[in-house]
Amino acid sequence: MTFLMNINHGFHATMNAQPGRGDEVIALLLAAPSLPHPDCIVFLVGRSAGNPDVVHVTEGWSSPEAHAAFFATAPAQELVAALQPLLTGSEYSDEVPVGGKAF
């Protein structure tokens, strides 16, 4: 069975949590307001197998415009603000998903 997803914009982030705070970062991300958003098609949270304070997030959105509009909302900005004091650093890279599986 083949499922087609209309993902035209995405990103991958690696977040380095303050020591011992990886679980808090994960809890915030798994309660993210983007999860129920209809334009957020993929939202995956994972952690490093070797360091529980390194958290990875992969998102896929219907369009760059939908992603930008969502991140301009108060709930999205509140999530970003809540994450900041828990992190020592982050790396983000934009991507355009070309295939795979997310279910």
68-88 confidence digits (pLDDT tens): 999 999 999 999 999 999 999
In a domain, 13, yes or no: no
Is the CB of residue 89 less than 8 Å from the CB of residue 55? no
Sheet holding 87-95, edge to edge: 40-47, 54-61, 9-17, 87-95
In a domain, 83, yes or no: yes
In sequence order, what are the beta bridge partners of 12?
Answer: 58, 93
Question: Which residue range is the domain that position 71 belongs to?
Answer: 21-51+65-90
CA distance linking residue 50 with residue 47, whole number of Å: 9
Task: Indicate the pTM of the whole model.
Answer: 0.87
Is the CB of residue 9 less than 8 Å from the CB of residue 60? yes
In a domain, 39, yes or no: yes
In a domain, 70, yes or no: yes
In a domain, 5, yes or no: no
pLDDT digits (tens, 9 = 90+) for 17-66: 999 999 999 999 999 999 899 999 889 999 999 999 999 999 999 999 99
